[in-house]
């Protein structure tokens, strides 16, 4: 596995890349700490030891990074067709081909009855969910698949303007938001073909919730053995309570109007206007979005040096663990959103809000009481519509041969949690994980908890 070097480096007691600074301070006489040393200093000792002694060795033994072909990058194809002189300068033979990476965690000592497939959020690499996968395996879920969505993690970057740049200096771009769910459907087919589990459970975070909602409700994508779903902090309209929300909200009901072009001008800037017919607007789509975020995920960003780290998690220790993983696996770095990503998200999320009419998978929705990245209210409204639809037999959906009812759907607000509930401190994170496991239990074919009893 690609991560094999990570656990081996922990045996090197003097290695500055592996030893946290609470240990480093005893052997280092440097008057000033590097950014990496400061980062390691702020990871709690017990957290670091859990990763070093349990999680990473387990992943080193049982996980593999794999690749699968994705839907071709249509933006790239169109752009290079219209700009052949650029194609001639590229060193990559097939710059528009898309390779999707995913993490497979399979333990041959566990039965293959209940599998889990995970969809991370925007910018989140599969390796960020190793602890989640470790917990799931301890509960007997096998295998666990975690996708790297196109344009992030170890999957292909999609902006032709940045081919050849350092991977962290390429924006997170997507040509069609619908391709995310289509990639995920391919992942599920691979899982079923290789292991044929009785049940596949789904788990997502943030934008991963939007993607899996599309996967669940769009006809022809999901197989019959999808059993239940833990939908954590999904990105629904009305969306994020940040600038993304305000511009996304303002598009509802005005697609194609002059008002939308005014919105596009705001997002793209004065030099990029989609109403013109020249090639500049397409180039603008591939560039970093300049009104929402221009930071670069490549650099180390320590919680104590960021006033806004709490927007993702109230746990600086967990936040810093994720920064540490980005240092250990630099292939997962990704830049800020492209302008095209923002526009495609807005076009995608508005109709997604009405897909509750086709929602037919038992689901636990989790929202954080302190989430300022997405709107818990939007999730609550979506949940209420799904729940109401399954209140009576006349409107309820069928699920694996039976009629769904209200007990198949639940929503919990996690007190004190920010956006990344599964990345909070131990008390909140483990409580949320326990809620998901308890929700999954009735739908399982083989429960470790039943065996223990």
In a domain, 32, yes or no: no
Reading the block at residue 403, the tokens are 């009629």
What is the residue-level pLDDT of the chain in tens, covering all 453 positions? 444 434 444 433 223 344 444 444 443 444 455 777 788 888 899 999 999 999 999 999 999 999 998 878 887 888 778 777 777 776 667 778 899 999 999 999 999 999 999 999 998 999 999 999 999 999 999 999 999 999 999 998 887 776 656 555 677 888 889 999 999 999 999 999 999 999 999 999 999 999 999 999 999 999 999 999 999 999 997 643 443 444 444 433 323 333 333 344 444 454 554 444 444 556 667 776 543 343 444 456 777 777 677 778 999 899 999 888 888 888 888 877 787 888 788 889 888 988 998 999 999 999 999 998 888 999 999 999 998 887 777 788 888 888 998 889 999 999 999 999 999 999 999 999 999 999 999 999 988 776 544
- Is 401 part of any domain? yes
Helix count and strand count (H, E) for the chain: 18, 10
Q: Which residues pair with 144 in a beta bridge?
A: 105, 116
CB-side exposure of 266: number of CA atoms within 13 Å?
Answer: 16
Q: What is the rounded CA–CA span in Å between residue 91 and residue 218?
A: 38
Tell me the C-alpha to C-alpha distance, in Å, between residue 87 and each of 53, 123, 144, 184, 234: 48, 28, 39, 30, 38
pLDDT at 277: 43
Do 99 and 69 form a contact (C-beta atoms < 8 A)? Answer: yes
In angstroms, the CA 435 to CA 263 distance is 40
- Residue pair 240/375 in contact (Cβ under 8 Å)? The answer is yes
At 33 the pLDDT is 59
**pLDDT at position 390:** 79
Alpha-carbon span 248 to 345, nearest angstrom? 8
Tell me the longest C-alpha to C-alpha distance in the chain: 73
Task: Give the integer Cα–Cα distance in Å for 446 and 199.
Answer: 10
pTM: 0.85
Residue 13 included in any domain: no
| 27 part of a folded domain | no
Residues in the chain, total: 453
Q: What is the pLDDT of residue 188?
A: 98
DSSP letters spanning 382-408: HHHHHHHHTSSTTTPPEETTEE--GGG
| Rounded distance between C-alpha atoms, residue 178 and residue 205, angstroms | 17
For 315, counting Cβ atoms within 10 Å of its Cβ (0-12 exposed, 13-18 middle, 19+ buried), the class is buried
What is the number of other CB atoms lying within 10 angstroms of the CB of residue 408? 23
CA 109, CA 129: separation in Å to the nearest integer? Answer: 21
- Rounded distance, CA 112 to CA 9, Å? 32
- Asked whether residue 16 is domain-assigned, the answer is no
Q: Phi, psi (5° rounding) for residue 4?
A: -60, -30
Which residues face 399 on adjacent strands? 402
CATH number for position 328: 3.40.50.1820
Q: Tell me: cis bond preceding 143? Omega within 30 of 0 counts.
A: yes
The string of DSSP letters for 107-135 reads -TTS-SSEEEEEE--TT--GGGGHHHHHH
Return the sign of the alpha-carbon dihedral for residues 309, 266, 234, 129.
Answer: negative
333/127 Cα distance (integer angstroms):
11
Supply the range of the domain harboring residue 271.
65-452
* Lookup: tokens for 58: 């387990």
Tokens 């694996």 sit at which residue? 400
Which pLDDT does position 168 carry in this prediction? 59
Sign of the CA dihedral with 45 first, then 46, 49, and 55 last: negative
The reply to whether 330 falls in a domain is yes
**Assigned token pair, 309:** 């780290």
Helix (H) or strand (E) holding 86: helix 84-87
User: What is the reported pLDDT for 311?
Assistant: 77
Q: Both ends of the chain: CA-CA distance in Å?
A: 35
* Domain count within the chain: 1
Is 9 contained in some domain? no
Sheet with 99-105: list strands edge to edge. Answer: 63-69, 99-105, 144-147, 114-119, 199-205, 226-232, 363-368, 409-414
Q: List CB contacts of 103: < 8 A, sequence separation 6 or more.
A: 63, 64, 65, 66, 126, 127, 129, 130, 133, 145, 146, 148
């Amino acid at each position: 596995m690609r991560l094999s070097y990570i656990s081996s480096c922990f045996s090197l007691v003097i290695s500055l890349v592996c030893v946290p600074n609470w240990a480093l301070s005893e052997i280092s006489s440097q008057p000033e700490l590097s950014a990496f040393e400061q980062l390691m200093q702020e990871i709690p000792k017990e957290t670091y030891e859990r990763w070093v002694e349990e999680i990473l060795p387990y992943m080193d033994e049982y996980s593999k990074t794999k690749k699968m072909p994705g839907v071709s990058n249509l933006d790239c194809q169109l752009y290079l067709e219209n700009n052949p002189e650029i194609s001639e300068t590229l060193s990559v033979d097939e710059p528009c081909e898309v390779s999707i990476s995913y993490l497979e965690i399979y333990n041959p000592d566990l039965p293959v009855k209940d599998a889990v497939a995970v969809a991370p959020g925007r910018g989140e690499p599969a390796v960020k969910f190793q602890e989640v996968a470790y917990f799931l395996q301890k509960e007997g879920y096998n295998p666990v698949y975690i996708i790297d969505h196109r344009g992030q993690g170890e999957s292909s970057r999609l902006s032709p303007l940045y081919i050849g740049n350092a991977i962290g200096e390429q924006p997170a771009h997507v040509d069609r938001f619908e391709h995310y769910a289509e990639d995920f459907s391919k992942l599920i087919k691979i899982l079923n073909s290789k292991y044929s589990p009785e049940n596949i459970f789904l788990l997502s975070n943030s934008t991963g919730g939007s993607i899996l909602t599309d996967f669940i409700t769009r006809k022809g994508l999901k197989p019959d053995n999808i059993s239940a779903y833990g939908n954590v902090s999904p990105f629904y309209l009305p969306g994020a309570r940040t600038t993304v929300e305000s511009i996304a909200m303002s598009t509802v009901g005005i697609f194609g109007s002059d008002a939308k072009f005014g919105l596009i001008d705001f997002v793209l800037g004065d030099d990029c206007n989609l109403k013109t017919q020249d090639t500049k607007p397409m180039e603008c789509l591939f560039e970093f979005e300049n009104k929402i975020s221009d930071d670069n995920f490549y650099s180390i960003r320590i919680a104590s040096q960021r006033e806004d780290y709490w927007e993702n998690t109230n746990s600086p220790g967990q936040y810093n663990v994720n920064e540490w993983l980005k240092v250990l696996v630099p292939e997962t770095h990704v830049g800020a959103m492209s302008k095209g990503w923002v526009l495609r998200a807005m076009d995608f999320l508005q109709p997604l809000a009405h897909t509750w009419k086709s929602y037919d998978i038992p689901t636990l929705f989790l929202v954080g009481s302190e989430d300022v990245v997405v709107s818990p209210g939007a999730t609550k409204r979506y949940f209420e519509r799904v729940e109401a639809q399954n209140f009576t037999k006349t409107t309820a959906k069928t699920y694996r041969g039976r009629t769904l009812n209200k007990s198949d759907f639940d929503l919990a607000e996690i007190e004190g949690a920010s956006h990344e509930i599964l990345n909070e401190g131990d008390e909140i994170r483990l409580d949320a994980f326990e809620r998901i496991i308890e929700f999954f239990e009735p739908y399982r074919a083989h429960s470790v908890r039943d065996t223990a009893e």
